[in-house]
Structure 1
Amino acid sequence: MTSTPTSQFTGYAAAWIIVFVWSFWLVVSRIAENSGLTIYDLAALRYGLAAVVALPLCLYYKPWRGMGLGQMAVLSFILGPLYILCVFGGFLFAPAAHGGIFMNGMLPIFGIAIGIAVFGNRPGLRQAVGAVMILASAVVLVWDAAQISGDAVWVGDALFMVGALFFSVYVILSERWQLGAMQIIFCGTIINAVIYLPVWALFLPSGLADAPTGPLLLQAIYQGFVPNLAGLLLIAHASRRIGNANTSSILAAVPGMGAVLGALILGEGIGPIGIAALGILTLGLLISVRRRKPLTPPTPV
């Protein structure tokens, strides 16, 4: 596809919009507890409402064609309730900023570790240097948060890292299996809605009936539609228009933007040491960017 100034502008715009989308998602997820909703309700909104939009598209495009049952099962599990409940659970213990730091920030670390352990891929010098910077800054950020917010923060950070591990596997598999956007939506949304929603309705604690209308609508719109569906389309557009390297470089701003929004909207503090570590982490993410276009664009939320 020939690049034009207009197409480049829309690509950069899409990338920066998704930075704000993901960063604000951190804040929305952090305040969900105050709405009376449980993390199980948030997962139900994520799968159920997205499935309403995705079902007609999947019936039209039939994305299950060309996928084996094993592929569908693995991808659905990786993007399933265990993954998203770990993420939502992390916000019960840790600040919103840590969601961006430990989910987005740890992706290169887990990607390198999985590549070495499973595929025997050795990281290049850039990736190794970036990974060391990310890991060192993450350790400092955990320590700094414990001084400010209390010792329980590490529990949330650990849950975020489990979510990042799940997503790292998804990124690797989606690239190796050359999965299309509709195949990802089908497995991540439709299949999980069919499996999870009955379990949630019958067995899991819920505050949905008593939740105030305003907070409920915010969570419904944001968890159900914005990052899941709109995010995937925006990343796909940005990757096509400006390339994966430029898109990934812009998305490295998510941890920093999440920290800024957490401070402005939620009043979450971060000390001078934490600010310095966040800068090092962002630089490490930029260094770790792989200079090639992936086969399918990922979406980390």
Structure 2
Amino acid sequence: MSSRMQGYLFVLITMCIWGSFTILSRLNAEWHISAWDIAALRFCIGFCILMPILIVRGETAFLWKKEPFILGLLGGVAYCLTAYSAFMYVPAAHAAIFLNGCIPLCTAVAGFLLFKQPLDKHIWISLIIMLTALVGMSVLMYEQTHVAFSFGDGLFFLAAIWWGCFTVLLKQWKLSAWQAMSGVAIWSALIYIPIYICFLPKHLHEATLSHLMIQGIFHGVFVVIVATLSYIAAIERLGAFKAGSIVTLAPFIAAVVAVPLLNEPLSGAVVMGLVGMAIGALQPWRWFHRKDALQAQLEKQKLKQLQK
């Protein structure tokens, strides 16, 4: 396979896992697996797989720096607990709107607040589109249910803030993909598992063994390890913008799939939110700008060849 085809294959793998994350996280509510339990399964399995590999390879020194600890606290413990908890309250479509749709925006704002990274015109256009979609959605929801936003929506938005800060810090500290993945997984387990064992409620006995195995393997192996590596491989072959834009579609597709699969409602208000947040997150107008820039570059290369 060509490098480009490999890139699209890795994008497909990442999309399948990220889309399934929305569906399976929502299924936790039906399978009686609490947010505390699924986080413990995820962190414990990731730790048991990655820690022995680091020990054998003699690469544990970087773990004892502050950067992996902070990343594990934000992108591991804080993000997972708020996101998993939110799925217990609202349908999967709300995750696409308030979590995945808001992550690019929260990342840009976090970069500006933490490191004074400027907000370009594309971010401002996305901001206007997203706010318009959210206002329209809230008005329609209030007319139908007299509630504009729910507690679960707030948790999803908080999770987007955690992930935005995590992304900015990860880029600023320039950790390798392997260090970031293993550092987050291991420190998440070291921070959370003792707290879970000593203080938090446990309901693992209420779920079936098959459900626990499915959720544990998916979140601990596929989400933590496979999706991270496939996403990085896609970026290396297709570029960050193209790979990121395509993969961002996965949660929105999952929100539509959840309607017949999980019998979840899809009202006009939610459709407005999905469409608006998808446009704001994907920034489709940049594709045309990118094509124009590529065409100009090709024409310049042809002109140089003719001059020679």
TM range (shorter): 0.7 to 0.9
Maintained 8 Å contact 1:94/1:153: no
Matched, 1:168 2:161: no
Matched, 1:101 2:97: yes
Report the secondary structure of 2:118's partner residue: coil
Q: CA deviation at 1:215?
A: 1.6
Count matched residues: 288
Query: Tell me, which stretches of 5 or more residues in structure 1 are unaligned?
Result: 293-301
Q: CA deviation at 1:62?
A: 4.5
CA distance in 2, matches of 1:149, 1:43: 32
Larger radius of gyration: 2
What is the identity, as a one-letter code, of the residue corresponding to 2:203? G
Matched, 1:6 2:2: yes
The structure 1 residue matched to 2:261, chosen from 254, 258, 265, is 265
Q: CA deviation at 1:116?
A: 2.6
What residue in structure 2 maps to residue 248 of structure 1?
Answer: 244
Deviations 1:197-233 (CA, angstroms, capped at 9, x unpaired): 2221232111113321222222112221111111101
Structure 1 pair 67/21, CA: closer, same or farther in 2 (3 Å)?
Answer: closer
- Of all paired residues, the percent bearing the same amino acid is 25
Structure 1 pair 61/146, CA: closer, same or farther in 2 (3 Å)?
Answer: farther
Maintained 8 Å contact 1:106/1:161: yes
Structure 1 pair 164/223, CA: closer, same or farther in 2 (3 Å)?
Answer: same
Maintained 8 Å contact 1:58/1:182: no
CA distance in 1, matches of 2:16, 2:9: 11
Matched, 1:82 2:84: no
What residue in structure 2 maps to residue 31 of structure 1?
Answer: 27
Q: CA deviation at 1:168?
A: 0.6
Report the secondary structure of 1:269's partner residue: coil
Maintained 8 Å contact 1:50/1:225: yes
Maintained 8 Å contact 2:79/2:162: yes
- More moved, 31-40 vs 232-241: 31-40
What residue in structure 1 maps to residue 201 of structure 2?
Answer: 205
What residue in structure 1 maps to residue 299 of structure 2?
Answer: none
Q: CA deviation at 1:265?
A: 1.0
What residue in structure 2 maps to residue 124 of structure 1?
Answer: 120
Maintained 8 Å contact 1:44/1:196: yes
CA distance in 2, matches of 1:286, 1:80: 25
The structure 2 residue matched to 1:72, chosen from 68, 71, 88, is 68
What is the identity, as a one-letter code, of the residue corresponding to 2:280? G
CA distance in 2, matches of 1:268, 1:247: 29
Report the secondary structure of 1:259's partner residue: helix
Runs of 4+ in 1 over 3 A off after TM superposition: 60-68, 138-153, 288-292
Q: CA deviation at 1:127?
A: 1.8
TM-score (norm 1): 0.86
Maintained 8 Å contact 1:15/1:250: yes
- When the two chains are superposed, the root-mean-square deviation of aligned CA atoms in Å is 2.5
The structure 2 residue matched to 1:277, chosen from 273, 289, 294, is 273
What is the identity, as a one-letter code, of the residue corresponding to 1:262? A
The structure 2 residue matched to 1:214, chosen from 200, 210, 216, is 210
Q: CA deviation at 1:30?
A: 0.9
Structure 1 pair 121/209, CA: closer, same or farther in 2 (3 Å)?
Answer: same
The structure 1 residue matched to 2:189, chosen from 184, 187, 193, is 193
CA distance in 2, matches of 1:286, 1:235: 16
Maintained 8 Å contact 1:134/1:281: yes
Report the secondary structure of 2:201's partner residue: coil
Maintained 8 Å contact 1:102/1:138: no
Structure 1 pair 87/62, CA: closer, same or farther in 2 (3 Å)?
Answer: farther
CA distance in 2, matches of 1:144, 1:15: 35
CA distance in 2, matches of 1:67, 1:47: 16
Q: CA deviation at 1:38?
A: 1.7
Q: CA deviation at 1:180?
A: 1.1
CA distance in 1, matches of 2:44, 2:161: 24
CA distance in 2, matches of 1:149, 1:94: 14
Deviations 1:115-134 (CA, angstroms, capped at 9, x unpaired): 33232232111221022212
TM-score (norm 2): 0.84
Maintained 8 Å contact 1:24/1:261: no
Report the secondary structure of 2:33's partner residue: coil
